[in-house]
Amino acid sequence: MPPFDSNTTAFRPTLKTMSSDAAPRRSYDRSWEEIELMLNRAELKRKEWKSWFEECRKNEDRDGMKEAARNHKALDGVVKTLKWTLGEEGVGNPLD
């Protein structure tokens, strides 16, 4: 079997975009191991932001709390999306 050529359009689904300039170029060459590692990193970063939030709360740093909460919430979405990508049981559509 020949190696997958990331520039081959035969393997790419046709997606409707707002403009033809907005179509991203994707290689589709991430391994499951890479996705698992990214999930582990995202979960670790999320824990770090949670700890930072608690530290800011203790110091009454409202701006720090806002930043930590915003980043923690963003990583919730990353974690859910990666778990969904891996097909983890019980993880629904990340857009819901």
Position 55 confidence tier, pLDDT thresholds 50, 70, 90: very high
pLDDT, tens digit, 9 for 90 and up, residues 5-14: 444 445 555 5
Is there a domain that residue 73 lies in?
A: yes
Is there a domain that residue 16 lies in?
A: no
Asked whether the beta carbons of 35 and 85 are under 8 A apart, the reply is yes
pLDDT of 24 strictly over 60: yes
Is there a domain that residue 15 lies in?
A: no
Predicted pLDDT of residue 22:
82
Is there a domain that residue 41 lies in?
A: yes
Is there a domain that residue 13 lies in?
A: no
Position 2 confidence tier, pLDDT thresholds 50, 70, 90: very low
Q: How many domains does the structure of the chain reveal?
A: 1
Distance separating alpha carbons of residues 63 and 81, to the nearest angstrom: 28
Q: Provide the residue range defining the domain that includes 70.
A: 32-88
Is there a domain that residue 93 lies in?
A: no
Q: What is the DSSP letter of 36?
A: H
Residue 69, Ramachandran bin (φ over 0: left; ψ between -120 and 50: alpha; else beta): alpha
Is there a domain that residue 9 lies in?
A: no
pLDDT, tens digit, 9 for 90 and up, residues 66-82: 999 999 999 999 999 99
